[in-house]
Structure 1
Amino acid sequence: MANMKISDLVSDEAILTEIGQRILQRRLALQMTQAVLAEQAGVAKRTVERIEAGASAQMSSMISLLRVLGLLPGLELLFPEQAQRPMDLLKRKGKVRRRASTPREKADKEKPWRWGDE
């Protein structure tokens, strides 16, 4: 079975199925049974079966499986640390951003300016 490319154009279900297939392929490449993988990861064998079949799973279970399969470093590529931009640090006087800001109203900018007495 050929691997598909995971992209925005693919449904969530198809991505889960593809991730499950890739985990299955990695497990087989390591000559590991589902039972051994489950035991080493500290999850139920049924959890391994479900993930390999493309079902959703708890993030903690997925992390445990990725750790045992030697795939955990790949998460660094998936979720790279976001560097603080120097100008943002200057604006906030060195304080690290903790929240996203609310988008400003564009409607005010789109309306032509008028005197208030019209």
Structure 2
Amino acid sequence: MNAYSAQTDESALTLLGKRLAAFRIRNNWTQAQLAEQSGVSKGTVERIERGDSVQVVNFIKVLRACGMLESFLSIFPDDSPSPMQLLYMGKIKSRQRVRSPHKNTNTANILADNAAEYNADKPANDASKTPWVWNEDK
């Protein structure tokens, strides 16, 4: 990797454009093909390669088409805390084992509880209408 210090903004854009053109040529893409893959105009690709100023969103589209967007975004490191830092700060609680329900739980009680919730909105004096129960007719 060459250590290069751009003296001006224009020289940095020119260097970036030359590197993009070299990358495009290495991949045997024409400017039109790269533009079509990116969803930008051919003129936008030409301007980037010349070192002219373009909209950032168009530049990001070209980088995405080249598969270089992640590399570009890695210029500025993610400053969010790592999982270990979160653990030390107490933001992440230690994992606990999930307990299974007790084996002596009676499923009839669960069904009765659900039936009580089902009938909660019906009047209590209507005893002739009882809810349907599975396998009742057998």
Specify the alignment match of 1:65 in structure 2.
62
What's the TM-score, normalizing by structure 1? 0.63
Specify the alignment match of 2:10 in structure 1.
13
Unaligned runs of 5+ in 1: 95-118
1:5 CA displacement: 4.0
1:76 CA displacement: 3.0
1:4 CA displacement: 6.6
What's the TM-score, normalizing by structure 2? 0.55
Q: Of 40, 43, 58, which aligns to 2:40?
A: 43
Pair 1:49–1:4, CA change in 2 (3 A): farther
Give the share of equivalent positions with the same residue, in percent.
40
Pair 1:75–1:46, CA change in 2 (3 A): same
Larger radius of gyration: 2
Matched, 1:33 2:26: no
Q: Of 71, 78, 81, which aligns to 1:81?
A: 78
Task: Give me the CA root mean square deviation.
Answer: 2.6
- CA displacement, residues 14-47 of structure 1 (integer Å, 9 cap, x when unaligned): 0000000010011001100000000110001000
AA aligned to 1:53 is R
1:83 CA displacement: 3.3
AA aligned to 1:62 is F
Unaligned runs of 5+ in 2: 92-138
Distance, in Å, in 1 between the alignment partners of 2:73 and 2:46 is 26
- CA displacement, residues 79-100 of structure 1 (integer Å, 9 cap, x when unaligned): 211135x8xxx9xxx9xxxxxx
